[in-house]
Amino acid sequence: MTGTKAQVLVVGLGPAGAAAAEAAATAGAHVLAIDRRAQVGVPVQCAEFVPMMLGVETAAVSAARVQDISTMATYVREAAADITPDFRGHMIDRAAFDAALVARARAAGAEVRLATSLRAIAPDGTCTLSDGTRLTPRVLIGADGPRSRVGQAVGMANRDLMETRQITVDLPAPYEATDIFLRPEIEGGYAWLFPKGKVANLGLGILPARKAMLKPLLDELHAELLAARRVGPKIHAHTGGLIPTGGIVGLAAQLGETQVLLAGDAAGLVNPITGAGINPAVLSGRMAGQAAAAFLHGDAQAPEEYAQEARDLFGPSIALALTRRRDLLAAYALCGPDDAALRRGWIAYDQYWSRTPANALSEVKEPA
Ligand SMILES: Cc1cc2nc3c(=O)[nH]c(=O)nc-3n(C[C@H](O)[C@H](O)[C@H](O)COP(=O)(O)OP(=O)(O)OC[C@H]3O[C@@H](n4cnc5c(N)ncnc54)[C@H](O)[C@@H]3O)c2cc1C
CATH number at residue 37: 3.50.50.60
Going from the Cα of 152 to the center of ligand 1, the distance in angstroms, rounded, reads 17
| Shortest-distance atom of ligand 1 to CA 35 | 44
**pLDDT of res. 361:** 45
Atom number of ligand 1 nearest to Cα 205: 1
Please check whether residue 346 lies inside any domain of the structure. Answer: no
Segments of the chain with pLDDT less than 50: 1-2, 360-361, 367-368
- Is residue 168 within a helix (H) or strand (E), and if so which, with residue range? strand 161-170
| Amino acid 368: pLDDT | 42
**Atom 4 (ligand 1): residue with closest C-alpha?**
46
Distance CA 178, CA 206 (A): 18
Given this model, what pLDDT does residue 364 score? 52
- Cα(198) to centroid(ligand 1), Å: 24
In a shared domain, residues 181 and 237: yes
Ligand 1, atom 53, lies closest to the CA of: 241
On whether both 142 and 269 belong to a single domain, the answer is: yes
Q: Which domain holds residue 32?
A: 8-67+90-159+246-316
Same domain, 169 and 281: no
For position 112, what pLDDT does the model report?
Answer: 98
The burial of 257, by beta-carbon neighbours within 10 Å (0-12 exposed, 13-18 middle, 19 or more buried), is given as exposed
Q: Is 224 a domain residue? A: yes
pLDDT of residue 55: 85
- Residues 51 and 179 grouped into a single domain: no
Q: Tell me, yes or no, whether 147 and 238 share the same domain.
A: no
- Contacting residues for 78 by C-beta, under 8 A, at least 6 apart: none
Q: How far is the centre of ligand 1, averaged over its atoms, from the C-alpha of 14 (Å)?
A: 6
Q: Which residue has its alpha carbon closest to ligand 1 atom 35? A: 12
Q: Has residue 135 been placed in a domain?
A: yes
Q: Is 284 in the pocket of ligand 1 (CB under 6 A)?
A: no
On whether both 175 and 136 belong to a single domain, the answer is no
Q: Is 36 in the pocket of ligand 1 (CB under 6 A)?
A: yes
Tell me the whole-structure pTM to 2 decimals: 0.96
- Tell me which residue has its CA closest to atom 12 in ligand 1: 276
The structural domain count of the chain equals 2
CB distance 274 to ligand 1 below 6 Å? no
Residues 6+ apart with CB under 8 A from 65: 55, 90, 91, 92
For residue 124, report the distance from its CA to the centre of ligand 1, in Å. 27
Distances (CA, A) of 141 to 7, 254, 264, 320: 11, 11, 10, 27
Would you state the pLDDT for residue 143? Answer: 98
Structural domain includes residue 349: no
Task: Verify whether ligand 1 is closer than 6 Å to residue 180 (CB atom).
Answer: no
Q: What pLDDT is stored for residue 355 in this prediction?
A: 76
CA 85 → CA 73, 74, 88, 351, distances in Å?
9, 11, 8, 17
Residues 46, 146 within the same domain? yes
Q: Is the beta carbon of 190 within 6 A of some atom in ligand 1?
A: no
For ligand 1, pick from 150, 278, 318 the residue to mutate: most ligand atoms within 8 Å of CB.
Answer: 278
Query: Where is the domain boundary, 243, 264, 281?
Result: 243
Could you tell me if residue 345 is inside a domain? no
Which residue puts its alpha carbon closest to atom 27 of ligand 1?
145
Query: Are 94 and 140 part of one and the same domain?
Result: yes
Residues 146 and 110 in one domain: yes
* pLDDT recorded at residue 363: 52
Give the per-residue pLDDT at 56.
87
Residues 10, 102: contact at Cβ < 8 Å? no
Q: Same domain for 40 and 184?
A: no
